[in-house]
Structures are given as C-alpha cells and as structure tokens.
C-alpha cells in the first residue's frame, strides 16, 4: 500500500486533527465558536479554514499543481495576516500537517517502509509553507497600500480643486490610479 492510499484512508481523521490544531491557535471561546458554527456566512473564518485545508490536502495528496493550492492558501493566510498572530504563527499551520501525519501514520509508515514517499510529501508541504509566507508578506503590504491609497483618495479631489495638480501633471495619473484602484 502506498502513502497515497494510506492518506486517502485516513483523510477524515487527519483533516479533523489538522483543523483542530489550527483552531486551537485561537483563544478558547473563539475556538469553540469557530468549531461549532456551521453556517459559512456566520462563521467565515472556520469555513474558510475547513474548506481550505480539505482542498490543500487533496492537492498535495494527488500531486496536483501548486498553482491550484495557491488560492486556498491565500484564503486562509489573508485572514490570519490581519488577526492576532505573529508572521510565523500566521503561516505555521502548514507545518501542523507534517506533525499530524507522522503521529497518525507512524506505525504504518514504519511497517511499509515508505519513507521516500513521506519525504516527497513533506517536501511539498514545505514548498507550500514558503508560499504561505510570501502570501503573508503580500497581504501586509496590501494593508499599507490601502492606507496610502485612502489618503490619496481623500486628497486628490481637493488638490484638483485647488489647481495644484496642474503643476504636477505627471503625478495626476498616479492619483487617478489610486482612485480607481
């Protein structure tokens, strides 16, 4: 039996543990809510994490393209990037999966000597974890960009009225860009 079969067989259990591990990074009152509220609009964080890790798991297991994984990673990291986490806390959820798989499948992996496959699988997780960090950085940059463009939106029309923009024509288009975002 290959690692893929093992993963497929144990998918439910692994994902449940992965989900719990991520949810436990939140304060306990919050964790209870994130776990128990099933409506995806009442609980966007829980729903995004749950849907995201399910898809990520399948993508890694099936050896699909990382491109596909990117959107799901983005959904999760985009949320954690504005919550109470340090950068490493925000993206470390990918590494949880490694630990859980080792814990859950240790025996079977030992018996079947499928370390090679395991290493390959873990390498994929590492790649995604570093993408997660890139996404995190982009999200934080976006936050600062939004701050700047908000200021620009507020001042653009006023400067325009005061005819100050005629002297800085070159920047006019920049301003406009900020406006239309």
- State the residues that interact with other proteins by CB under 8 A: 24-30, 33-34, 37, 39-45, 48, 78-79, 82-84, 88-89, 92, 95-96, 98-99, 126, 129, 139, 142-143, 145-147, 149-151, 153-154, 156-158, 160-161, 179-181
- Shortest spacing between CB 5 and other proteins, in angstroms: 24
Report CA 76 to chain centroid distance, whole Å: 3
Task: Please identify, using beta-carbon distances, which residue of 13 and 157 lies nearer to other proteins.
Answer: 157
Residues near 180 by beta carbon (within 8 Å), at least 6 away in sequence:
none
Distance CA(170)–CA(175), nearest Å, equals 10
Please state, in angstroms and rounded to a whole number, the distance separating the CA atoms of residues 97 and 14. Answer: 8
Question: Minimum distance between the CB of residue 156 and other proteins, rounded to whole angstroms?
Answer: 7
* Closest distance of CB 7 from other proteins, Å: 18
CA dist., res. 91 & res. 93, Å (int): 6
């Amino acid at each position: 039996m290959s690692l893929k079969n093992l993963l497929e067989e144990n998918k439910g259990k692994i994902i449940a543990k992965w989900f719990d591990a991520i949810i436990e990074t939140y304060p306990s009152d919050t964790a209870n809510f994130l776990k128990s509220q099933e409506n995806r609009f009442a609980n966007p964080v829980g729903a995004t994490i749950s849907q995201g890790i399910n898809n990520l798991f399948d993508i890694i297991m099936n050896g699909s393209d990382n491109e596909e994984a990117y959107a799901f990673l983005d959904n999760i990291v985009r949320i954690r990037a504005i919550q109470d986490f340090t950068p490493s806390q925000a993206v470390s959820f990918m590494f949880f999966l490694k630990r859980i798989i080792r814990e859950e499948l240790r025996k079977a992996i030992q018996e079947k000597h499928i370390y090679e496959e395991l290493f390959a699988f873990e390498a994929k997780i590492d790649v995604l974890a570093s993408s997660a960090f890139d996404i995190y950085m982009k999200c934080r940059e976006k936050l600062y960009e939004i701050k700047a463009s908000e200021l620009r939106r507020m001042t653009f029309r006023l400067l325009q009225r005061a005819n100050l923009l005629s002297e800085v024509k070159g920047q006019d288009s920049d301003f406009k860009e900020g406006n239309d975002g």
